[in-house]
Structure 1
Amino acid sequence: MFLDQLLQSVADARNRYIAYVQQLTEEQAHWKPDADTWSAVENTEHLYWAEHGGIWGMWKILQAKRDGKPPVYQGELIHRGRSIEEIIERTWQPKEVVPPIAAPRMGGSVAFWLAALESLQQPLTKLSHELADEDFEAIIHPHPISGPLDIGQRFAFLRFHIDRHRNQVADLRTLLAV
């Protein structure tokens, strides 16, 4: 039940993000105020790569558990029982450096990246069904910045991360209006 609520919160965040960015023209979606700020397209491409990697990693960890392989992470569970907001507060810098695997690098149309981002809900939904009989708090998939997160925290991270980037796009849109 809890994982279903987390899944829905990710879907809601994804839908809010897509609806917000779809309001931009292609030109607006590519606009950026300076070289160090991502455009809406770059934010969207980043969200796709980051989420794709996170979902793939959760599937990989689940399959390893089912195959009887030792857990990928065997250290101390320093974030047990913490909300994703608290974890981010403790582990992130004000402006983080994105891991290269999640960095925007291809460019292209905003419509493509929104469709790609939208497509990730299906494998995430399938994963949540696969996890139905699992103790998801015992399945740990480390985040490259925050460290060991259980599956529930990982789902919560997806929602948090999408909302974070929607806010960044909103900031861009405010600058566009000036």
Structure 2
Amino acid sequence: MTPQILQHLDRLDASLNTLFEWLLQEDPNYLDQKLSPERWSVYEVMQHLMLSEGNSLKYLRKKSLGLAELKPAGVRARFRTWLLELIMRSPIKFKAPKGAGVEVFVPVESFAALSGQWQKQREELRQFLSELPLEIFDKEVYRHPRSGMLSIGGMLRFFQVHFDRHNKQMKRILKEVKPLSTP
């Protein structure tokens, strides 16, 4: 694993740990509440992020088997990564891709169960990436559903900007579902 990939993973893990620390301070009764049926709860946003990362890991495992067929990640892959980051930072709303939306969400047993599952998945990602040959990190190995082929570094940069976007959403949700406090 390259130092840059390790740095991306460390930042992702730090963001996840900060999220967990924050949500542990919140009343768990609010984490599954939503203002309307078409809007997501905090638990649903967490599931979406976890599914997105988990589906990406499955895809990466499959693609890494055909290292010889992978194209080098060049200027186009870097441009796609940059454009994806730019769009994800914008207020434009997107429909979740199939396999990472409400059609696959399940009832959440507890915050501890969901956060533990996500943490385990992140550990699997780190372990998998640590076992890959170095030459794969310079290849177009990850297909984002909307922007196309990216390098593993591009995938991790997407994970971060995707996480950041939905972290803001979770903060908005909690602010909206909590009852107004009395002065």
TM-score (norm 1): 0.83
CA distance in 2, matches of 1:131, 1:156: 18
Structure 1 counterpart of 2:99, one-letter code: I
Q: Does 1:107 align with 2:104?
A: no
SS at match of 1:95: coil
Which of the residues 86, 89, 99 maps onto 1:89?
86
What is the Cα deviation at residue 4 of structure 1? 1.0
CA distance in 2, matches of 1:25, 1:86: 37
Contact 1:62–1:139 (8 Å) recurs in 2: no
Match of 1:13 in 2: 15
What is the Cα deviation at residue 154 of structure 1? 0.4
Instruction: Identify unmatched segments of 5+ residues in structure 2.
Output: none
TM-score (norm 2): 0.81
Match of 1:25 in 2: 27
Match of 1:145 in 2: 146
CA distance in 2, matches of 1:55, 1:137: 17
Q: Does 1:165 align with 2:163?
A: no
What is the Cα deviation at residue 77 of structure 1? 6.5
Over 3 Å counting, the alpha-carbon distance change for 1:39 and 1:52 in structure 2 is: same
- Report the count of equivalent residues: 173
CA distance in 1, matches of 2:167, 2:155: 18
What is the Cα deviation at residue 163 of structure 1? 1.9
Structure 2 counterpart of 1:15, one-letter code: N
Match of 2:123 in 1: 122
CA distance in 1, matches of 2:42, 2:15: 16
What is the Cα deviation at residue 170 of structure 1? 0.5
Instruction: Identify unmatched segments of 5+ residues in structure 1.
Output: none
Structure 1 counterpart of 2:155, one-letter code: R
What is the Cα deviation at residue 5 of structure 1? 0.7
SS at match of 2:173: helix
Deviations 1:38-73 (A, max 9, x none): 1011011111211111112112211221xx4x34xx
What is the Cα deviation at residue 166 of structure 1? 1.4
Over 3 Å counting, the alpha-carbon distance change for 1:35 and 1:107 in structure 2 is: same
Contact 1:49–1:101 (8 Å) recurs in 2: yes
CA distance in 1, matches of 2:107, 2:154: 30
Which of the residues 12, 34, 38 maps onto 2:40?
38
Q: Does 1:133 align with 2:134?
A: yes
The percentage of counterpart residues that share the same residue type is: 20
Contact 2:81–2:154 (8 Å) recurs in 1: yes
CA distance in 2, matches of 1:139, 1:85: 15
Structure 1 counterpart of 2:48, one-letter code: H
